[in-house]
Structure 1
Amino acid sequence: MSDHQTKAPRIIETGSTAPQPDATPQKRGLFKRLAEGLSRSTSSMTTGIATVFTKRKLDGATLEELEDLLIQADLGLETATRITDAVSEGRYDKQVDEREVRDIVAAEVSKVLTPVEAPIVLDGTHTPHVILVVGVNGTGKTTTIGKLAKLISAAGKSVVLGAGDTFRAAAIDQLKIWGERIGAPVVAREVGADSAGLAFDAIAKAQDLGADVVMIDTAGRLQNKSELMSELEKVVRVIKKRDDTAPHTVLLVLDATTGQNALNQVEVFTRAVGVTGLVMTKLDGTARGGILVAIAEKTKLPVHAIGVGEGEDDLQPFVARNFARAISGLDEEPALNEDEAE
């Protein structure tokens, strides 16, 4: 029996027997929200596939149109090529049903995404577990921190928040509101304070309290890219002065609406601070949600969660098969019962 049928997907994995937020009661609701959130990407792709394959036999021109469509959906050249190869196998010069093509798209996308599907593991190896959250402004970084902190708290772990985006008063205030909401201490300073010093203080606070996790926000916009990366590199150096094993998780939050630019962000932030995992937000705001596939193909970085709306429950565990089927316009596969799964 696969993990998808035996336990509910989670963003946070504590590695303990403590109560954890359970997605089981809302599993079908999660897929429905995912499908709705990806509707713009789905509509663009499925409409294109239907147009390409209506009353036509499969030939070189058809395959070229399909490949162009998949590349325009930001799936990436390698994945697009594999899909067109799979479609052409045994079907050349034959009528091809567009549903059959969408099944192939879903299968190939799932192959790319399944290896990167992973929760954030908080197994108690480090106390506190230091999570550094990075990304350019506008990706929903601070909101993502709040939502993740809520899940961590609900899983029975104590968390301290560090308002390290000291350039934005709104980010500091937003994190304070989240802290009040979930009962988590927030380490904050005045606007313009040194962000590296703030990170140091946040870890010290978490250590003093014996907290399980400390999540540290960071700035996302300075005068230029090199200045931003230098600032983040300084944050990491200062963190290591307090705990030389930290940060234990470096989480990059990406905005799906930026398309190919998101791939560039992964490369730049990984070089600067060693990104360990991804959260992609705003998938409901773009027709090019396939960029997540291209990023997974190229970087192989774990994808922990995706955002498909503004609500707190719209930050979902990343489930590769569900994403692949939703973006291809297919329904959720029915869960197997125990007799069928054995």
Structure 2
Amino acid sequence: MFSFFKRKKPQPQPDMVALPVDEPEIAPVAPTELPPEARVISVDVPDAVSDSPAESPDQGAEAAAADIAPPGLIPPPDPWSEAVDASGDPLARLDQATAQTPEADTGSWLSRLRRGLSRTGQNLGGLFVGVKVDEDLFEELETALIMADAGVEATDKLLGELRARVRKQRIDQPDAVRTALQDILTDHLRVLEKPFVVGEAAPMVVMIAGVNGAGKTTSIGKLAHALQARQATVLLAAGDTFRAAAREQLVAWGARNSVTVIAQEGGDPAAVAFDAVNAGRARAADVVLVDTAGRLPTQLHLMEELKKIKRVIGKADAGAPHEVLLVVDGNTGQNALAQIRAFDAALGLTGLIVTKLDGTAKGGTLAAVAAGSQGVRPVPVYWIGVGEGMQDLQPFVAAEFAGALLDNR
């Protein structure tokens, strides 16, 4: 049968781009104008990468340093949208954004973490001032933990252990109760504490996913900086070929870190990831960080594209990706559990990066993850971020995080 109704023209969606599952053809695309400091390799893939048993694309990507003037660069999105330099230079914008939290003003990492979690720290820590150790205190703690996004399961577990310890040790001072709760919370969160080990594979391929707005690309730039501080050589793959200016944003981070970026404007992200792995092997890089397009876990056709990227990476290196990380916005609260569950089911996550713990995030979500709430597997938290500065991404340490949540100095 034929339909005689005129179809409405679909409206463009800014962050949700419908992608066909089958692989499109790719034509070589010249890079857009980029900062002169950026070393960009524009991959040239004649045919789309397929994850079928057929032959894969050429194993080596030709490398060439880009030496192009910055004018004309498309302004990237947040966090730079409020720090735009008149010249339009993305590196100048990045300098302004990171200059908002200079190291001299932010102090130690622990003090920055406490400031970032001050909202929860004040709510929880304030309960132990001028009170008696009785059932009213436990009820107040229960409400505060749930309001901090710890969830019912984690809250019941934590307070059950706290009540037992208070009775057994006959604790009657509120400060001692807070110290006991900090110890219990530290033990509870320790299941998420795991070091990020570099060197077990050469190169170590890290696939990074996340929804739009979680701070994924920014976290990749900070992670590259952190890995370089460990004397690791890093290569970036601009696999987010769909979001406007995502490529330029990653290139700007690469320029700031003096890191080579494998990029292609438009086209198949799996092809970019494939060539990045081969380029990392050819250059003896220690780590290859693969950026991917942000997407919601409910967009099943886009989640299939992520699965394809993972399969294609495995064709370039049989053991890759060695790490599959999900970037989670610390402000999403209990919604983060749904994201973790969906991405874990699709990709098999090996770790999390929790971002934006910078004053508005409650932080209790990690307690819910550690408790396995809502069917979530306790995926390790490798890194947490508390700001926009280069130093504001640090390894997760359970004792430090628990102390910051309870404002226990």
**Shared fold (TM-score greater than 0.5)?**
yes
Distance between the aligned counterparts of 1:84 and 1:95, measured in 2?
Answer: 14
CA shift at 1:96, angstroms?
A: 4.9
Distance (whole Å) between structure 2 residues aligned to residue 243 and residue 305 of structure 1: 25
Q: Secondary structure at the match of 2:391?
A: helix
Letter in 1 for 2:338: N
The aligned runs of 1:56-71 (5 Å cut-off) are 58-59=134-135, 62-71=137-146
From 173, 178, 184, the counterpart of 1:102: 178
Q: Distance in 1 between matches of 2:173 and 2:297?
A: 52
Alpha-carbon distance in structure 1 between the residues aligned to 2:236 and 2:160: 48
**Are 1:204 and 2:282 matched, yes or no?**
no
Residue pairs, 1:1-342, within 5 angstroms: 29-47=108-126, 49-50=127-128, 55=131, 58-59=134-135, 62-89=137-164, 90-91=166-167, 96-123=172-199, 125-191=200-266, 193-221=267-295, 225-298=299-372, 299-331=377-409
State the alpha-carbon separation in 1 of the partners of residues 289 and 187 from structure 2.
Answer: 32
Equivalent residues of 1:142, 1:175 under 8 A apart? yes
Secondary structure of 1:161's counterpart equals strand
State whether residues 122 and 129 of structure 1, in contact with CA within 8 Å, keep that contact through their aligned partners in structure 2.
yes
Q: Give, in angstroms, the shift of residue 147 of structure 1.
A: 1.0
Local SS of the residue matching 1:214: strand
Q: State the secondary structure of the residue aligned to 1:70.
A: helix
Structure 2 length as normaliser, TM-score? 0.68
Residues 1:84 and 1:253: Cα distance change in structure 2 (over 3 Å): same
Aligned partners of 2:382 and 2:396 also within 8 Å: yes
Inter-partner Cα distance in structure 2 for 1:274 and 1:154 = 28
What is the identity, as a one-letter code, of the residue corresponding to 1:325? G
Q: Quote the Cα distance in structure 1 between the aligned partners of 2:299 and 2:233.
A: 34
CA gap of 1:85–1:222, structure 2 versus 1, over 3 A, is closer
The answer for unaligned runs of 5 or more in structure 1 is 1-27, 332-342
Cα shift at 1:304? 1.0
Matches of 1:276 and 1:287, distance apart in 2: 23
Q: Which amino acid aligns with 1:270?
A: D
Q: Give the residue type in structure 1 aligned to 2:342.
A: V
Query: 2 CA distance for matches of 1:308 and 1:70?
Result: 21
- CA offset at residue 95 of structure 1? 9.4
What TM-score comes out, normalization by structure 1 length? 0.80
Moved more, 141-150 or 282-291: 282-291
What number of residue pairs does the alignment pair up? 297
Alpha-carbon shift at residue 184 of structure 1 (Å): 1.6
Structure 1 residues 87, 237: closer, same or farther in 2, change over 3 A?
Answer: closer
The separation in 2 between residues aligned to 1:327 and 1:195, in whole angstroms, is 39
- Cα offset for 1:297? 2.4
Following superposition, the deviation at residue 67 of structure 1 comes to: 1.9
Deviation at 1:56, TM superposition (A): 5.0
Distance in 2 (CA, whole Å) between partners of 1:314 and 1:111 is 25
Match of 1:336 in 2: none
Residue type matched to 2:294 in 1? G
Cα distance in 1 for partners of 2:152, 2:392 equals: 29
Q: Following superposition, which runs of at least 4 residues in structure 1 exceed 6 angstroms of deviation?
A: none
RMSD: 2.3
Report the Cα distance in structure 2 between the residues aligned to 1:287 and 1:91, rounded to whole angstroms.
33
| Further displaced range: 112-121 or 78-87 | 78-87
Post-superposition Cα deviations, 1:97-124, rounded to whole Å, max 9, x if no partner, equal 432332222111101112321221112x
The more displaced of 109-118 and 259-268 is 109-118
After superposition, what is the alpha-carbon deviation per residue over 1:12-32, rounded to whole angstroms, capped at 9, x for unaligned?
Answer: xxxxxxxxxxxxxxxx81211
Retained in 2: the 8 A contact 1:79–1:108? no
1:54–1:81 CA distance, 2 compared to 1 (3 A): farther
SS in 1 for 2:312: helix
- Counterpart code for 1:271: A
Considering only CA atoms, is the larger Rg found in Structure 1 or Structure 2? 2
Contact 2:384 2:394 in 1 (8 A): yes
